[in-house]
């Protein structure tokens, strides 16, 4: 690789054979990825896939067991402090200081980065404005809703004006409205040029936010690409979902297996993968099968995951 | 300053009320019994029991508060609240996190100890300039416990472990560490145990300073032991905090 080329496209994060072991349990099993500056990059996978373990290594709070990891072209093992100074972290569990007010949570956190107090205060005001919590500045943390706490944690992670923002399951456990507010804020950050790295087990979140993502399962990366590429590569354009009366799924499935390109039999429904779902549905009706309900929809990352692992993302 | 705000919110009753109760109960009650018998009074070096007991309460209070502040609050920082984890993700080093914690312990212990000092100023038997170095020594005694117990807490998963600290360290020391009677009264094998515990050194210092019965070299010796404990405790904190936070 030529020197000039390296400088031009130097990834903000790169990993080769990245592995994390806890005693003799291998949570991350040799994964490779590169994240470009300005990109929104996702780790999509079910619980226990190794997403948080990976994020903690990227966050320089968990030593790499083997393989290489570089951030800003620095080594976390020797430059953890410098790297952390340029990065913001939203952990899976909010760890706000319940003894402090909303405003002081930001100021004190800024002080941990050695940012002058006056500067911390002015940034805290701006950030509370950004996450729409200005009116709660003097409130304690406890009475805040889950979505507000999450927004405050995001504001806190931005106090050092990071180039790279790590978000571990940013919207898990939030209601749909709170999720949309959060997505909107993250989208704005991306527009401002902040590199976003997030984990999620929601395919809609991955589709909404990520330019590119890797699908993780059992500590390994099983696929990589943009949401659109992944769907094109591993699924059909459309999916026909059929529901038959309880208990008759398996039996009815036999009469549709020749339709479409592929099918999946789930406990509560049958998925038929086809580029034209409507014509398959016509054929189903023509065969005299009468499903309780039938729905034609576009393929999602959920279908990709199902295809790759044989399991659903959310159990 | 923001940290100081936290301090006022936490209550000081542990530090304040307990020593006063002890002074009243033990000092006046037991004291009147002990002092009534001249022979016993001689065993204390000819002083009243109240004067013997009261200065030691500086050290015991420091121990109680110092040890307590490094049990539940420390585990909360690792486990329930994650305050330490949030710090670990910043450009702070473990050393700085531990230093901040030391400052916090020093503040908590000082507040409690100064509360007792105020009480001792009111009591005529113990009103002396010796209260100044005695108060400082008590704080060091408290920090010997904070730092070592804090390092232990960093290795714990569950708070039941702290019952052991209370039962096998704090309570026995409280009773056998020389606060209520000279450790010379203890049976043979217990004496050397008292010698190695920070509480006894703290009690010797506080009592010695207030009653002006301590010599220069004894002061140096006791202080050296307390500083040794604090140094060891800080070293272990650095080590176990790092292990816990960056795993
Ligand atoms: N500190 C730890 N000690 C032991 N095992 C761990 C630890 N952290 C995570 N694991 C295990 O590693 C696996 C992956 O966990 P994690 O990275 O949290 O997955 P995810 O975030 O994708 O749900 C899980 O089986 C989990 O139990
Ligand atoms: Mg996780």
Backbone dihedral region of A219: left (phi > 0), alpha (psi from -120 to 50 degrees) or beta? left
Nearest-atom number in ligand 1 for the CA of A23 is: 4
Nearest-atom number in ligand 1 for the CA of A169 is: 21
In chain A, residues under CATH classification 3.30.70 are: 236-298
- Please tell me the pTM assigned to this model: 0.89
pLDDT, tens only, B194-232:
889 999 999 999 999 999 999 999 999 999 999 999 999
Model confidence band, residue A251 (pLDDT cutoffs 50, 70, 90): confident
Give yes or no for residue A27 CB within 6 A of ligand 1: yes
pLDDT, tens only, A301-313:
999 999 999 888 7
Task: Evaluate whether ipTM surpasses 0.85.
Answer: yes
CA A119 to ligand 2 centroid distance, Å:
33
Which of chain B's residues have a Cβ under 8 Å away from the Cβ of A72? none
Å between A35 CA and nearest CA of chain B = 20
CB atoms within 10 A of CB A211: 15
Least confident of A17-26, B8-17, B170-179: B8-17
CA B247 to ligand 1 centroid distance, Å:
12
Model confidence band, residue B98 (pLDDT cutoffs 50, 70, 90): very high
Tokens of B90: 């910043």
**Helix, strand, or coil (residue B193):** helix
**Average pLDDT value for residue range B158-175:** 93
- Residue identifier of the C-alpha nearest atom 4 of ligand 1: A22
Give yes or no for residue A50 CB within 6 A of ligand 1: yes
Cα–Cα separations (whole angstroms), residue A44 to A16, A51, A54, A199, A239: 19, 8, 12, 6, 21
Taking the C-alpha atoms of residue A160 and residue A112, their distance in angstroms, rounded to an integer, is: 9
Q: Inform me whether the C-beta atom of residue B4 falls under 8 Å from chain A C-beta atoms.
A: no
Q: How many CA atoms lie within 13 A of B241 on its CB side?
A: 31
**Average pLDDT value for residue range A9-35:** 96
In chain A, residues under CATH classification 3.40.50.300 are: 13-228
Residues facing A214 on adjacent strands: A43, A224
Q: Give backbone dihedrals phi and psi of A265, rounded to 5 degrees, phi first.
A: -105, 115
- Residue identifier of the C-alpha nearest atom 12 of ligand 1: A27
On whether the A13-228 domain is CATH 3.40.50.300, my answer is yes
CA B213 to ligand 1 centroid distance, Å:
59
Give the CATH class of A236-298: alpha beta
Pocket test for ligand 1, best of A48, A63, A214 (most atoms within 8 A of CB): A48
Give yes or no for residue A47 CB within 6 A of ligand 1: yes
Least confident of A47-61, A175-189, B44-58: B44-58
């Amino acid at each position: 690789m030529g020197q000039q080329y390296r400088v031009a496209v130097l990834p903000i994060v790169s990993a080769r054979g990245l592995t994390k072991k806890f005693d003799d349990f291998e949570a991350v099993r040799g994964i490779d990825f590169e994240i470009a500056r300005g990109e929104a990059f996702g780790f999509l996978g079910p619980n226990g896939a190794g997403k948080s373990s990976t994020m903690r290594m990227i966050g320089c709070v968990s030593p790499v067991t083997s393989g290489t990891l570089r951030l800003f072209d620095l080594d976390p093992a020797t430059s953890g402090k410098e790297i952390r100074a340029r990065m913001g972290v939203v952990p899976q569990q909010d760890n706000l200081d319940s003894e402090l007010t909303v405003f002081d949570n930001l100021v004190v956190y800024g002080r941990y980065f050695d940012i002058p107090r006056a500067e911390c205060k002015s940034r805290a005001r701006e950030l509370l404005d950004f996450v729409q919590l200005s009116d709660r500045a003097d409130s304690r943390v406890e009475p805040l809703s889950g979505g507000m706490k999450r927004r405050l944690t995001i504001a806190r992670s931005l106090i050092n004006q990071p180039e790279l923002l790590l978000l571990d399951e940013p919207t898990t456990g939030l209601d749909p409205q709170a999720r949309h507010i959060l997505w909107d804020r993250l989208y704005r950050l991306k527009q401002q040029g902040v590199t976003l790295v997030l984990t999620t087990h929601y395919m809609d979140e991955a589709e909404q936010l990520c330019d590119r993502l890797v699908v993780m399962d059992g500590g390994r990366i099983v696929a990589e690409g943009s949401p659109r590429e992944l769907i094109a590569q591993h699924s059909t354009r459309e999916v026909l979902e059929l529901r038959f009366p309880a208990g008759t799924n398996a039996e009815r499935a036999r009469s549709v297996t020749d339709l479409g390109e592929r099918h999946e039999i789930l406990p509560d429904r049958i998925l038929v993968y086809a580029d034209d779902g409507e014509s398959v549905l016509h054929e189903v009706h023509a065969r005299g099968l009468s499903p309780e309900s039938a729905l034609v929809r576009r393929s999602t990352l959920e279908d990709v995951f199902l295809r790759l692992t044989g399991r659903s993302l959310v159990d | 300053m923001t940290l100081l705000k936290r301090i006022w919110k936490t209550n000081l009753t542990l530090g304040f009320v307990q020593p006063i109760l002890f002074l009243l109960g033990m000092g006046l009650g037991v004291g009147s019994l002990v002092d009534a018998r001249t022979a016993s009074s001689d065993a204390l070096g000819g002083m009243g029991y109240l004067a013997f007991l009261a200065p030691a309460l500086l050290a015991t209070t420091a121990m109680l508060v110092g040890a307590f502040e490094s049990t539940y609050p420390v585990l909360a920082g690792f486990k329930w609240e994650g305050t330490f984890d949030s710090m670990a993700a910043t450009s702070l080093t473990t050393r700085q996190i531990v230093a901040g914690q030391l400052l916090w312990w020093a503040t908590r212990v000082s507040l409690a100890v100064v509360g007792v000092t105020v009480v001792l100023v009111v009591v005529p038997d113990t009103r002396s300039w010796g209260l100044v170095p005695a108060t400082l020594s008590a704080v060091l005694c408290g920090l010997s416990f904070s730092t070592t117990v804090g390092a232990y807490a960093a290795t714990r998963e569950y708070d039941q472990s702290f019952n052991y600290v209370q039962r096998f360290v704090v309570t026995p020391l409280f009773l056998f560490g020389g606060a209520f009677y000279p450790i010379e009264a203890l049976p043979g094998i217990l004496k050397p145990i008292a010698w190695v515990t920070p509480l006894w050194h703290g009690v010797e210092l506080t009592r010695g300073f207030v009653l002006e019965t301590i010599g220069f070299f004894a002061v140096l010796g006791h202080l050296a032991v307390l500083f040794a404990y604090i140094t060891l405790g800080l070293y272990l904190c650095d080590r176990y905090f790092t292990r816990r936070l960056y795993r």
